């Protein structure tokens, strides 16, 4: 696999950027901030300092709303693709971004077209750049006493 040329945009979404750690996920939903842009809900934890690195991302679709795995997988694929194509808005922000961990949750009741999902995700990422402020200098997961 070749690396992109200097100055070229990388549209990849490698495994390292997927949020998989159970402890981080619990912390994200425990003390993370959120807002909704129907049919999406974005939940995030701020990073310790502004960064140019992409945040770890979790993509979720409710099993209660979409009973069939085919529908859930389709919507997750849609969300991942929309994020993959537009994550540069976070990564290439002029002063960096302060999003450490991010969850993209599809909260709609019916399947929406890709164009609408992408449009809402873009406005969500723009809003994140304005709302997310760096966390105080404490580690993401504080050790137990």
**Predicted TM-score (pTM) of this structure:** 0.86
Is pLDDT of 70 > 60? yes
| Residue 114 located in a structural domain | yes
CATH number at residue 66: 3.30.230.10
Distances (CA, A) of 138 to 29, 61, 66, 130: 18, 31, 38, 22
pLDDT mean across residues, the chain? 89
User: Which residue, among 119, 38, 112, has the nearest Cα to 75 in the 3D structure?
Assistant: 112
Residue 133, pLDDT score: 72
| Residue 76 located in a structural domain | yes
Which of the four pLDDT bands, split at 50, 70 and 90, describes residue 3?
low
For the chain, the domain total comes to: 1
The region of weakest confidence among 44-53, 61-70, 75-84 is 44-53
| Residue 4 located in a structural domain | no
| Residue 112 located in a structural domain | yes
Q: Please give the order of strands across the beta sheet that includes 97-106.
A: 33-37, 40-51, 97-106, 56-61
Coil, helix or strand at residue 121? helix
| Residue 1 located in a structural domain | no
Is pLDDT of 144 > 60? no
Instruction: Give the mean pLDDT of 114-129.
Output: 96
Name the percent of the chain lying above pLDDT 90: 70
Greater confidence (133 vs 127) lies with: 127
> pLDDT tens for residues 25-55?
999 999 999 999 999 999 999 988 888 899 9
**CB-based contact 140:24 (threshold 8 Å):** yes
| Residue 28 located in a structural domain | yes
Which of the four pLDDT bands, split at 50, 70 and 90, describes residue 8?
confident
Domain that holds residue 119: 17-132
Is pLDDT of 137 > 90? no
């Amino acid at each position: 696999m070749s690396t992109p040329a200097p100055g070229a945009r990388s549209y990849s979404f490698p495994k390292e950027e997927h949020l998989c750690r159970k402890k981080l996920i619990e912390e994200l939903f425990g003390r993370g901030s959120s807002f909704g842009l129907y049919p999406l809900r974005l939940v995030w934890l701020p990073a310790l300092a502004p960064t140019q690195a992409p945040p770890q991302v979790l993509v979720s679709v409710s099993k209660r709303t979409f009973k069939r795995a085919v529908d859930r997988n389709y919507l997750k694929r849609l969300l991942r693709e929309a994020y993959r194509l537009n994550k540069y808005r976070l990564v290439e922000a002029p002063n960096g971004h302060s999003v450490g961990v991010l969850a993209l949750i599809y909260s709609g009741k019916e399947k929406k077209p890709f164009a609408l999902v992408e449009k809402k995700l873009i406005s969500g990422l723009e809003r994140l750049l304005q709302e997310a402020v760096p966390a105080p200098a404490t580690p993401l997961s504080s050790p137990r006493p």
